[in-house]
Amino acid sequence: MADFTGECSYWQLSPDLSIPALEELSVCVHLQQHISTPAWTAFMYRHPDGLQAELGLAGQEGLVHTWLFGMRWSAPLHLPLGHWHYVCITWSGASHQPALYVNGTSVDVTAHANESPLSPSCCRLAPHGTLTLGVSHYFIQGEMHVENGTNLNGSVSLFRVWGQARTPEQVSDLSCTEGDEVRWDAVDWLTLSCPPVPDSHLQCAWSLYELKVKIAIICYDGNSTDVYKARDLAQKWLRQILPSNKYHLYRVSVSVSTSFDCLVHLNVIPSSDVSTVQKQVSQLLNTPHNIGYLTLMANPQSIQVNAVEDFPPATVIPPIVMATGTSSDTTKDLSVTTGGELSDIYFEVDVNVTLTGFCIHPELTIITWLHVTLPDEMFVLTFQLLGKAYRHGCRFQMRVTTSSSQEETRTRIRTLLEKTYTNGTITMENKSNDINIRHIHLHQCPFVVETIPDLDNIDVTPENAMDVVEMIESLLKDHPDLNCTELSTVLKKLKNIVFISCMTPPLGKAIINIISDILESKSYLQHVTNQILNITEMVGDKMSGFDQTNYTLVASAMAISVVDVDRGQFQVLTFGVSSAAEGLNPENNPDGKILNTYVVSASVTNASGPIKDLEEDVEVTLHHVMSNPLGKEVQCVYWDFNQNEGKGGWEQHGCRKHNTSADYTTCLCDHLTHFGVLLDVSRTQIDIQNEEILTIITYLGCGVSSVFLGITVLTYTAFEKLRRDYPSKILINLSLALLGLNMVFLVNSWLSSFGSYGLCVAVASALHYFLLASFTWMGLEAVHMYFALVKVFNVYVPSYILKFCFLGWGIPLAICCVVLVVKRESYGSSLGSESMEPLDNSEAFCWIQDEVAFYVSVVGYILLVMLCNMAIFVVVLVQIRHMRVNQPAGIHSGLLLQDLKGVSSLTFLLGLTWTVAFFAWGPAKVPFLYLFCVLNSLQGE
């Protein structure tokens, strides 16, 4: 509590917290006056501008004043000194005035003579104001000052604010619950020089609590702890440290941040003082707890124990049954002790109970009654509240450990349940004919499923198939991303359900929704693609119970249409999808191809075998995911379940392309299975063996070339005499560009493997830049050669090399910057996504992925440089020929070999070997690629 009898005069709500705008509210506070004063203030909440009292409770000369929206209401009321008084103010937008309750009793208030009643829905509480306890306050130039003569000479406790108007019953019976807008917690208040003071005289007994705590789990065996294991450990830990005769776990949930955030709902029986429960639970949680190779530790600063009005709907968590026998002190008069052998007997009990008194949560009240009434050897397994018009019905399964017979045990249970139960204002009673007790077997008791691995303990039957599907749906809502084991468990259960159940439309809809959720999750699905496709097809094949000739199941990631056709009149089937997810790619990047349509499956029910080798082809028209305006090569394929060691893969046999456009492709197939269209990005593909040989040649050539380029640069840099003339300086720049190109090419795949999209863009743009720089310097080399051999004495260019450097390094930089500004996505990985995560064994390579950018900034630019270089090459050869002709006779012998060497040197120097790439088409692609790799990877030599 806050004691304002000494030097301390008030508390203030922490500036880190603020009350929001409220259209209805409830404020409750416990206050006690020690000395009578002419005026006192319990609390005051002022408008953010400080001009008016938005909300407050005060007293003066035998009157209690209530402030709301700057207006005051009063009631003649005497509050005896030295006693605690429970005062509440409630208001909603439909009220003309606030409601005042003192010690649970409504008190009439009257507006001040100068005030007018509130009009309905006129106001709402101003947000972000200032709140003080024990004194009123005002503002001068934005600074808060305490109003003298208004302080409360006494104590304040349990000040709370709710965002809704409480009913009179709630004000009376829920006096201990925590506020949802302002809590009674010392950390939420600036206590100044008034530290909280414990008070044993103020008792607030309550049963329902919410516990929040951060726990750290230390594993000494080196294994990691997932959220499922953490929840199980937290349950065991709490059951062991919290006395079971008082604390009953209603729900335990665990989420992951930097540690495990644990949310627990506790039912304390019997009801206990809030402060006592908070202190006891905090003390119990502060001790580290060992479970096998694990240690659980709670963060003391994170422990919050709050009294709450109600619990969210959840399954009651059964306590762990210990190996040792237990007895109940509360039911000793009904205990049966015999020398016979103990055994477990299972019963299902239906009870209709009559509840009198104010009861907010009947389900929790009945559960509490069962816990108090039944001895320890009678254990409630499951509980279900049944709706009744005037009474409450419930059904629960229970296990009884006893040596008595079934009939004796049944009589004992009935006797216990017939006793009247009273808890505070609530009374519960039922008659003998309202109780129905049936003996059941263990397999009839439903399982408590809290995690996906728990599904392994459930046997699927036609009767419980829908229940299992609902369990899976519920589990996937909290845990959508599955690991391999969990994915296998879920698909196994779905397969069992489809195999043994009658596939009704509701069941089929639920299964398709689950598969759709799995497809949209981040789970790794490549190894289970066949299972997903088979389950989906079985759902369609077994579908029955629909009235029309067709029935359609639609989910966010898939759609199924089941058609009942008349074989004598059937001609064509049309199936359309307006939208679908684009993420399914069961076999990823096969041979450089990408999936460019949604996957469509067609099957015939009751077929004796696979439908193939049809006399008349099946025509399938598929819509492209990405438009194909350039007319790239398209292949029609189907899904072969036997490829990739049984994991499935695309196969072309039996399907062929009929026609294609930018947006659609029509395929003709002689069988029915899963169809798709693959877009051949690399046009004519080469086989894997040649691909590997070309890769080895390229990397070896680039490595050797880089060594010689490095030696060249170092040599020219070390010896000044070698780099005095223009050709040497141009050669150094060309060598640097080629060296950069080779080095970036060699590390490209390694840097791509890091999976960083930003890094991949940087690598691709660097590779693009050095490639363009290399060709630019080759072009400048040709220009210089033209000036030197053709325009020998006719041209003088000031700052010759400086201008060449500006062109040689500046033009490629400008082109790369334009590509980055216009469309940064042009750069990326060959995997084709920003995730940069290879989904198979494909090797990522960062390069230009956009076709337009590639053909304009690479192919077009290189082609332009090559044409200029070839023209200059021809001119230079002609000039050399003229020089040879003009030489004196007799010195031409032996110059043929020298001329050939000069021509070959010029060919490499001007980059003319790169023109080989323009001839690598069709059947000639492989030999020209070999020639291209050998010539250009060794260009630096």
Ranges of H-type helices in 753-799: 757-789
| Res 633: pLDDT | 79
Sort 674 into a burial class: Cβ within 10 Å, 0-12 / 13-18 / 19+: buried
Closest CA to 600 of 577, 582, 633, 573: 577
Q: How many CB atoms lie within 10 A of CB 72?
A: 19
Range(s) of the domain holding residue 486: 452-546
What local confidence, expressed as pLDDT, does residue 442 receive?
52
Residue 346 lies in a domain: no
Residues 908 and 765 in one domain: yes
Residue 647 lies in a domain: yes
d(CA 86, CA 103): 5
Q: How far apart are the first and last CA of the chain?
A: 87
Mean pLDDT, rounded, of the chain: 74
Q: Are the C-beta atoms of 432 and 418 separated by less than 8 Å?
A: yes
- What pLDDT is recorded for position 772? 92
CA angle 247, 250, 254 (to 5 degrees): 110
Enter the tokens of residue 352: 């209709």
Mean pLDDT across 436-456 = 68
| CA distance linking residue 746 with residue 586, whole number of Å | 30
670 and 764 together in one domain: no
The DSSP bridge partners found for residue 639 are: 650, 674
Does some domain include residue 334? no
Q: Who has greater pLDDT, 712 or 546?
A: 712
What average pLDDT does this structure show over 248-264?
Answer: 61
Which CATH number is 884's domain given?
1.20.1070.10
User: Is residue 714 domain-shared with residue 743, that is, in the same domain?
Assistant: yes
pLDDT of amino acid 773: 92
What is the rounded CA–CA span in Å between residue 470 and residue 301? 39
Domain CATH number, residue 589:
2.60.220.50
Reply yes or no on whether the pLDDT at 24 is more than 60. Answer: yes
Region of poorest pLDDT, from 70-79, 354-363, 459-468, 693-702:
354-363
Which stretch of 313-317, 426-430, 449-453 has the lowest confidence by average pLDDT? 313-317
Point out the least confidently predicted range of 542-551, 627-636, 785-794.
Answer: 785-794
Low-confidence winner among 225-229, 254-258, 374-378 (lowest mean pLDDT)? 254-258
d(C-alpha 638, C-alpha 342), whole Å: 63
87-144 pLDDT per residue, tens = 999 988 777 788 999 988 899 988 876 666 665 546 788 888 899 998 988 888 778 8
Tell me: pLDDT of 258 over 60. no
- Determine the 3-state secondary structure of 292 from DSSP: coil
My answer on whether 753 and 778 are in the same domain is yes
Q: Which region, left, alpha or beta, applies to residue 106 given φ > 0 means left and ψ of -120 to 50 means alpha?
A: beta
Residue 65 lies in a domain: yes
pLDDT band at 291 (very low <50, low <70, confident <90, very high): low
Q: Pick the closest to residue 58 from 128, 154, 177 (CA basis).
A: 154
Residue 575 belongs to some domain of the structure? no
Of 546, 565, 600, the one marking the end of a domain is: 546
Nearest to 647, CA basis, from 587, 582, 585: 587
How much of the chain, in percent, has pLDDT values that exceed 70?
A: 69
- Residue 335 in 3-state DSSP? coil
Long-range contacts of 251-256 (CB under 8 A, 24+ apart): 251/311, 251/312, 251/314, 251/315, 251/317, 252/317, 254/227, 254/230, 255/227, 256/227, 256/230
Q: What angle do CA 365, 277, 295 make, to 5 degrees?
A: 105
Q: What is the pLDDT of residue 678?
A: 31
The stretch 464-485 carries a mean pLDDT of: 82
Q: Helical H runs in 440-554?
A: 465-478, 484-500, 505-520, 529-542
Residue 325 lies in a domain: no
Mean pLDDT of 728-738: 87
Residue range 816-838: average pLDDT? Answer: 69
Two tokens, residue 461: 């039957």
Number of domains in the chain: 6
| For the chain, the helix, strand and coil percentages under 3-state DSSP, each to the nearest 5 | 35, 25, 35
Of the pLDDT bands very low, low, confident and very high (cuts 50, 70, 90), residue 466 is: confident
Comparison of pLDDT for 92 and 351, the residue scoring more: 92
State both tokens at 87. 């005062």
Which of residues 190, 213, 236 is at a domain's end?
A: 190
Q: Output the six-digit token pair for 45.
A: 């909440």
Cα 342 to chain center, whole Å? Answer: 49
In 3D space, the residue among 380, 372, 229 whose CA is nearest the CA of residue 292 turns out to be: 229
**Same domain (yes/no): 160, 215:** no
Which residues, 6 or more positions from 632, have their beta carbon under 8 angstroms from its beta carbon? Answer: 679, 680, 681, 683
Whether residues 512 and 603 fall in one domain: no
- At 42, the pLDDT band (50, 70, 90 cuts) reads very high
CATH code of the domain containing 132 = 2.60.120.200
pLDDT score recorded for residue 203: 67
Give me the phi and psi of 664, to 5 degrees please.
-135, 150
> Residue 885 is which amino acid?
V
Which of 442, 467, 502 is where one domain is finished?
442
Output the pLDDT for position 795. Answer: 60
Q: Same structural domain for residues 438 and 399?
A: yes
Question: What is the per-residue pLDDT for 672?
Answer: 52
CATH of residue 289: 3.30.70
617 in the same domain as 486: no
Non-local (6+) Cβ contacts of 55 within 8 A are 25, 27, 43, 44, 45, 67, 68, 89, 125
Q: Are residues 298 and 379 in the same domain?
A: no
User: What pLDDT is recorded for position 312?
Assistant: 61
Q: How many CB atoms lie within 10 A of CB 599?
A: 19
Per-residue DSSP letter, 587: S
Residue 866 and residue 786 share a domain: yes
pLDDT for residue 831 is more than 60: no
Q: CB neighbours of 296 closer than 8 A, spacing ≥ 6?
A: 215, 216, 217, 218, 233, 234, 237, 288, 289, 290
Are the C-beta atoms of residues 934 and 701 closer than 8 Å to each other? yes
Average pLDDT over residues 68-93: 88
No. of helices (H) and no. of strands (E), the chain: 18, 40
3-state SS record for 40-59 = EEEEEEECCCCCCEEEEEEE
pLDDT at 57 over 90: yes
* Residue 362, domain member (yes or no): yes
Token pair, residue 377, equals 């050897």
- C-alpha span between 22 and 128 (Å, rounded): 11
Residues 232 and 298 in one domain: yes
Residue 168 and residue 33 share a domain = yes
* Identity of the residue numbered 472: I
Query: Is 562 inside any structural domain?
Result: no
